[in-house]
Amino acid sequence: MKMSTADWVMLAALSFLWGLSYFLIEIALEGLPVLVIVSLRIALAAVVLWAFVLFTRAEVPRQASVWTAFLVMGLLNNIAPFTLIVWGQTEITSSLASILNATTPIFAVIVAAVFLSDEPPTRNKIVGVLIGFAGVVVMIGPEAFGQVGDAVLPQLAVVGAALSYAFAGVFGRRFHRLGIKPVVSAAGQVTMSALVMGVFMLATSGFGAVADAGTSALLAVVILAVFCTAVAYILYFRILAAAGATNLMLVTFLIPVTAVLLGVLILDERLQPGELIGMALIAASLVAIDGRLLKLRR
């Protein structure tokens, strides 16, 4: 499956929203526990997404099999990775988390090759994914690996989240085949996730933590829910339907680029040579995977 120009624009927008989420998670962790952040993020996103569904008058499926699929998608794409990443970031830096999360396209190539006949592991795809991962490592810098070996379980948690995202991308292809619109797919999976996480909130008395949280932590969660979850998942399902799971997972290469550029624009940081080289490698990987410029050259 190929990426159109519109798909690349949506992928860039998705990378911005998910790149912003790493900053917001660190702010939210200053005032809220892990499960509370995940629960609030998903619940608020569900409310926003159903408002989108009502506004667009999209048809909502009633079959139990579809809602069971939404539950599985929510477990793979929301509950497991959100919890693993947020918990992992309590022990490791966001830079190392970004590198570990960038293994998602590698897992996606393998999982898609096993389960999807229309997403074979082509030479351009494999080479591009490896170059892109190298670009992420170069851009973030070797100092991010200083924690490797010190907090093994949190690191494995983020890698587990990357693997879960890969399976979610493959599993989520079915919603397009069923004729379900992206906004409904997003609302369905987030709703089922919110119901599951709501049970955890009740069991752990997480609502008391919300009352004690500061304004900055709560505001961070609201932005996480509305933009980095609700809007992001509408883009997610649009790209998934049009371009496939492997191409969608390339977003994890662009997330560190977004984080660096946000630092330059918001925090007045300066671009370092390693960051420029890493961005060039990531750009080269995307060109290789896209293939159009290489065909034009030939």
Is the four-CA dihedral 143, 145, 150, 153 of positive or negative sign?
A: positive
pLDDT at site 250:
85
Query: Which residue stretches of the chain have pLDDT < 70?
Result: 1, 142-150, 204-211, 267, 269, 291-298
Report residue 187 CA to chain centroid gap: 16
Determine the Cα–Cα distance for residues 212 and 241; give it in Å rounded to an integer. 41
Half-sphere exposure of 22 (CA within 13 A, CB side): 25
pLDDT at site 181:
92
pLDDT at site 190:
93
Determine the Cα–Cα distance for residues 35 and 39; give it in Å rounded to an integer. 6
What phi, psi does 65 have (nearest 5°)?
A: -65, -35
pLDDT at site 152:
81
Half-sphere exposure of 110 (CA within 13 A, CB side): 10
pLDDT at site 50:
95
User: Judging by beta carbons within 10 Å of its beta carbon (0-12, 13-18, 19+), is residue 77 exposed, middle or buried?
Assistant: buried
Contacts 24+ apart (CB under 8 A), 205-208: 206/33, 206/35, 206/36, 206/39
Cβ atoms of residues 266 and 88 within 8 Å: no
Question: Other CB atoms closer than 10 Å to residue 187's CB: what's the count?
Answer: 28
What phi, psi does 153 have (nearest 5°)?
A: -65, -45
Tens digits of residue pLDDT in 140-153: 776 666 656 667 88
Supply 58's token pair: 């999209």
pLDDT at site 67:
95
Determine the Cα–Cα distance for residues 280 and 82; give it in Å rounded to an integer. 29
DSSP 119: S
The helix-helix angle for 251-266 and 273-290 (nearest 10°) equals 150
pLDDT at site 296:
60
Supply 269's token pair: 């940081």
Which pTM was predicted?
0.83
Nearest to 101 by CA among 79, 86, 116: 86
Nearest to 187 by CA among 21, 58, 33, 19: 58
pLDDT at site 145:
62
Question: Other CB atoms closer than 10 Å to residue 271's CB: what's the count?
Answer: 13
Tens digits of residue pLDDT in 112-129: 988 988 888 888 888 888
pLDDT at site 1:
63
Question: Other CB atoms closer than 10 Å to residue 160's CB: what's the count?
Answer: 18
3-state SS, residue 269? coil
- Residues listed for the chain: 298
Determine the Cα–Cα distance for residues 29 and 71; give it in Å rounded to an integer. 26
pLDDT at site 148:
60
Supply 99's token pair: 């590198």
Helix locations, 102-181, DSSP H: 104-115, 123-140, 152-171, 173-177
